[in-house]
Each structure stands twice: as C-alpha cells, then as structure tokens.
Chains A and B, each alone.
Chain A
Amino acid sequence: MSDADFDDREFHPRGTVLIVTLFVLLLIVLWGSVYVILLARGTTL
C-alpha cells in the first residue's frame, strides 16, 4: 500500500492496541515477579 492508497478514515490502530496490551501483560509479569520475591523473603517481626 502506498501513501496514495492510504485512507485516513479507515485507520484503526490495531497494532497499537496489541502493543499496549502486551505492555500491560509484561507489567503484570514483572511487577508480579518482584512481589513473589517479597513473599519469598517472608515476614519481618
């Protein structure tokens, strides 16, 4: 598809939605991994 064929009105940011979704999943995994470390260290009395 060339610039001339590009239709602004038909543009839907599907790739963006995918990337943002992957970002949120990555965030959950990485945040969760630190949370697991917190749990593994146990309680402090």
Chain B
Amino acid sequence: MLATYELTTGQKRFIWHHLLVAMVALAIGTLFGPLQAFEHSGLDLYKYLDPVIKSYYQGLTLHGVLNALIWTTFFITGFITLTTIKGLNRPLSHPKLNQTGFWMMVVGLLTAAVPILLDQATVLYTFYPPLQASWAFYVGLTLVVVGSWVEGWGFYLTFYQWRKENPGVRSPFITFAGLVTMVLWQFATLGVAVEILTMLLPAALGLIEGTDPELARTYFWFTGHPLVYFWLLPAYISWYGMLPKQAGGKLFSDSLARLAFWLFLLLSVPVGFHHQFVDPGIPQTWKAIHAILTFGVFFPSMMTAFTVIASLEYAGRKRGGTGLVGWIRALPWNDPSVASQLLAGILFIFGGIGGLTNASYEVNAVIHNTTWVPGHFHLTVASAVTLSFMGISYWLVPHLKGKKLYSAKLGVIQAWTWFIGMLIFSNAMHVLGLLGAPRRTPLGEALYVPAEWEGHLLRVAIGGAILFVSAILYFWNIYKTVRNPETAEVEVPIAESREDPQNTPAWLDSWKPWLIATVLLIIVGYGPQLYFMIRDISLTSPGLRLW
C-alpha cells in the first residue's frame, strides 16, 4: 500500500485560487439568472441597472460567459490539479508551468471581462459572427483557453514522469480520468482557437473585411459539443471515483469506467453538426453522420448511468438497504456533498433524454432555437455539472482551507432548493419550447406572447427565484466555512474499485490506440466538409453591433 501523499500548503493554495476565481465568476454570473427569468414573466429589472448594465443581452452575455465558460474552466483545472496530485501520490513535476497557465487564464478572464462590462462584447457566450465584439474579448478568451492548455501540459508531464517510474502499473482512475478530460478539451478547443485566430480577431482588428459565419459556426460547434463533456467528465470523475467512497461503497467496475471515458474522448468531437441541423450550408449527409455519432455517445452515457448507480446500490446495500430500490434511502442523504451529487444525477436523467431529442435530426425541428434548448442545458451544465461541483466543494473547500464545513444542514437545504428550483425552471422552459417560444429573446417585451405561455413564463420566474436563493445559501455556506474558526482535517474521498485495477485490461490503460482512433475519427467526421468550407471560404460578412 502506497503512502498517501498529502498536499502541501502551497499546492492547496494553488487549487484554492482556481476555486476562488471560479466561485466569484459563478456568483456574478448567477446575479443575472433571475433577471432573465423575471424578465420572461414581465418584470424587467434591467432598466434599473442602467447605465451599469445596459440591456437584457449584456446580462445574458455575462450570465453565459461567467457561468458556462469561466466557472467551469477554472473549477475543472483546479479539480484536475487535485486528481493528478492525489491520484499519482506526487507533486506536479513542473509547478511553474501550471502556475503560468493559471495566471494566463486570470489575465485572459480580466481582458475579456472589461469589454463585456463596458458593453463592447454583447455577443452572448457563443459569440457567433457576424456579431462582433471588441478585440479584447477574443484575446481574453484565447488566453483563458491557452492557459488551460498550459496547465494540461503540466498534468501530462507529471503523468509521464510517474509512468516512467511505474511501467505496467494501471494508472490511478481519478488521474486517468482527469487526463482524458484534459486531452478531450485540447482536441475540442482547436475549433474555437482556429475560429478566433483566423476570423474573429482579425476582423475585430480590421485586418480582414468580414467573416464567414457558416464556417465560424462549424468551428464553434467543433468545440461546442465536446465542451459539454469537458464540463461533465469532472462530475463523472467524482461520481465514479469519489462518490462511492462518500456513500460508503466502492466503484462497481474500474474497467467499465475507463472504457466509458475512452468512448467519450473518441466520440464527443465529431458530432458538432447536430447543432447545425438547420444551417443551410452543410449537406444533409454530414448532418446525418454526426447525428449517428451523437447517438454513439449514448453508449458511454448509459455505461456511466449503470456503473454509477450500481456503485451507489453497492453502497446502499452495504449500509443495510434492502429491496429493489430500498437501498436508495439508505444512502447518506444528510451529507450535503452526497445529496448534491445524487440530486444532480437525477436532474441529469432528464437532461440526457432532452439531449437525445436535440440530436434527432427531424425531431430537432420541433425544438430548435426555442427555450427548450436553455431548458436542456440548465439540466446539464447548471445541474449535473454545477450542482455536482457545489457538492464537491462541500468537502474540497474544507480540505483545502483546513476548516470544518460551516453547516452540513444548510448544504443539504441548498442542494434540495437547487433541485426544486431547477425542476420548475427547466420544465417550464422545455414546455415553452414545445409551444414555440424562441430562446435568447426578452419575452417580457414580445408582443406575440399567447395566453398559453403565460403560466409557464411565471414558472420560469419562480424557478429562477428559488435557484437564486439556493445560490445565496451556497455562497454563504462557503464564505462561512472559509471564515470558520473551527478547524478540521478533511480527506479527499477516493473510492476503491471492487476489483483490483491491476486486473483491468491493459488496452484500457493504453493511450496510443485511443488517441490515434480519436484523431482518425475527427478527420473522417470533419475533414471532408471542412476542406470544402475552407476552400470556398467567403470572408464577406461585415461585423455587426446590434446593441
């Protein structure tokens, strides 16, 4: 049995800085959530924020960029720093490289934040051209992405050093899964990097006359869909590799868990055209191919559902639970970290179903560009991911700060209020979408709102208000924990596997074939269509500022 490596104060501080930036971003971004939800019900509070915040769309940009891009990226890089160090039982091999990456991300965040706050980048978090933001917005986002790459290189070098000293030993699951997440991110963000560096930034600087919106959208969704898995996989790391320990059990199958991660890496990039089903410039054949590949992602998703639930059933039965479903009650629901992640998983059931609906070529026509879509991704990134990250932080912040969690009871209440608020909010958004309500629209100002939408729009506001209260409870609990005079030593919960990981087949711990297969599938899935789109590029759409 290896001695467990304990993080130094400096390492803990480094990870905490990631979380701190992430939480500040979430706190500011969350402020705008209820404003949008209230606006939908006819209560427009934005007019009272003028001149600080000038429009609904500026608020929506802040909400999307800070919550979907900044909160997630900083939390994830901090979390993977932890899973790398704790899994490998060693410090980072090149800590200065990781520190450089972190500070690049911080500088990038500040560079992008200034134009957003000055209303010079009200382009929403997808920043589709021909909408054109200040050049600083694109430079800032690029720095955030490149900074996260640099941190990733630090993880790879640390792993490489460990591998040289431990040939033939199965890599620890949490480290393996963290590295797969980072590799996926680095493949995925090539799309948005090319988009910004070849089109958006030169256009914003006046170096080229315009952009090619169709090609830009294709680059964006090259990144945009696997981005969802970059958000989800760290939650899965916790669900597979930590939650079973917290619940009192073990990981049901190390092999299944690794296979699921490899399949996510393999399949999550060449699926972006399912976000472009109504884009006229993409042939139907390619849309169909990406639709099929998207359904391929259903398999690792179901493997994850099975393995995680089986791990929880194992824990529940070990705790004395009986019957087909009686073990669920035996799980430690009074632990805020466990409750958050269980409730996040339940919400994700509906997120997964909605996702398959989105990905279905014809059925997508019913819900495309409606409020169904934000209803859906609030179940994924704002529930499965964010509620899980909140749950993780209920042990991670005490671990990093050496403080006792201020209130476990408050944490459980927070998890349930998030769950209830999100059920109300997202259900209303889905129903409104089916009734034809457009997304990204200040519906409170719209003159065409039929009576049948009104009750649902009110539910959007009620759900948003409950979520806002839940967010306040979360930040209060974290703040009081950091300030808590009561100290505590909280361990990182790392679940054992039921079977010795050394018995996991070697091909599930071998990078080369999976990386080659991933590159080949990306080339096959995107290569021909990108070739034609780049060959016929038409940089003729001038940048627009519609705000």
Contacts from A to B (Cβ < 8 Å)? 1-3, 6, 8, 11, 13-16, 18-20, 23, 26-27, 30-31, 34-35, 37-38, 41
Quick one: which of A1, A26, A30, A34 contacts B320, CB cutoff 8 A? Answer: A1
Q: Which of A23, A26, A38 meets B365, CB within 8 Å?
A: A38
B320:A2 contact, CB within 8 angstroms:
yes
Are B353 and A38 closer than 8 Å at their CB atoms? no
Chain A residues whose CB sits within 8 angstroms of the CB of B309 once the complex forms: 13, 15-16, 19-20
The 20 sampled A-B contact pairs (Cβ below 8 Å) are A2-B320, A3-B248, A6-B317, A8-B498, A11-B314, A11-B317, A15-B316, A19-B309, A19-B325, A20-B302, A26-B349, A27-B352, A31-B356, A31-B357, A34-B363, A34-B366, A34-B367, A37-B434, A38-B362, A41-B366
Q: Mark B319-353, 1 if CB is under 8 A from A, else 0.
A: 11011110110000000000000000000010011
Query: Which chain A residues border B317 with CB–CB below 8 Å?
Result: 1, 6, 11
Per-residue contact bits, chain B 112-126, to A (CB 8 Å; 1 contact, 0 not): 000000000000000
Most chain A Cβ neighbours within 10 Å, of B248, B305, B352: B305
Interface contact B363-A35, CB-CB below 8 Å: yes
Q: Give, as a whole number of angstroms, the nearest-CB distance from B460 to chain A.
A: 20
* Bound Cα distance from A18 to B323, whole angstroms: 11
Closest approach, in angstroms, between the C-beta of A35 and any C-beta of chain B? 6
Question: What residues on A are CB-neighbors of B353 within 8 Å?
Answer: 26-27, 30-31
Q: How far is the CA of A1 from the CA of B323 in the complex (A)?
A: 11
Known pairs A34-B366, A38-B362; A15 contacts B318 (CB<8 A): no
Q: Which residues of A contact B349 (CB under 8 A)?
A: 23, 26
Q: Enumerate chain B residues within 8 angstroms of A26, measured Cβ to Cβ.
A: 349, 353
In the complex, which residue of chain B has the Cβ closest to the Cβ of A35? B363
* B356-A27 in contact (CB<8A): yes
| B306 partner residues in chain A, CB cutoff 8 A | 13, 16, 20
Q: How far is B308's CA from A20's CA once the two chains are assembled, in angstroms? A: 11
Task: Tell me the minimal C-beta distance from B203 to chain A in angstroms.
Answer: 35
Question: Is A20 a contact of B305 with CB atoms below 8 Å?
Answer: yes
- Nearest first, the 3 A-B pairs at minimum CB distance are A13-B310, A16-B310, A16-B309
Give the residues in chain A near B310, CB-CB below 8 Å.
Answer: 13, 16
Within 8 A of A (CB), among B258-286: none
- Given A6-B317, A31-B357, A38-B365, output 4 extra A-B contacts at Cβ < 8 Å: A11-B314, A15-B328, A16-B309, A20-B302
Query: Do residues A13 and B252 form an inter-chain contact, with CB atoms below 8 A?
Result: yes
Bound CA span A11–B316, Å: 11
* CB-based contact A30/B357 at 8 Å: yes
Q: Known interface pairs A26-B353, A35-B363, A41-B366. Does A15 touch B325 (Cβ–Cβ under 8 Å)?
A: yes
- B residues in contact with A30, CB < 8 Å: 353, 357
* Cβ B434 vs Cβ A34 within 8 A: yes
Distance to closest chain A CB from B253 (angstroms): 10
Asked if B186 lies at the interface with its beta carbon under 8 angstroms from chain A, I say no
In the bound complex, residues from chain A placing their C-beta under 8 Å from that of B323 are: 15
* Whole-angstrom CA separation of A1 from B322 in the bound complex: 8
Assess whether B366 is in contact with A3, with CB atoms less than 8 Å apart.
no
Residues B320 and A13 in contact, CB atoms below 8 Å apart = no
Contact of A38 among B252, B319, B325, B363 (CB under 8 A): B363
A15 to B357 alpha-carbon distance, docked (Å): 27
Residues on A with beta carbons closer than 8 Å to the beta carbon of B89: none
Q: Are A15 and B363 in contact (CB under 8 A)?
A: no
Known: A26-B349, A37-B366. A31 touches B360 (CB 8 A): yes
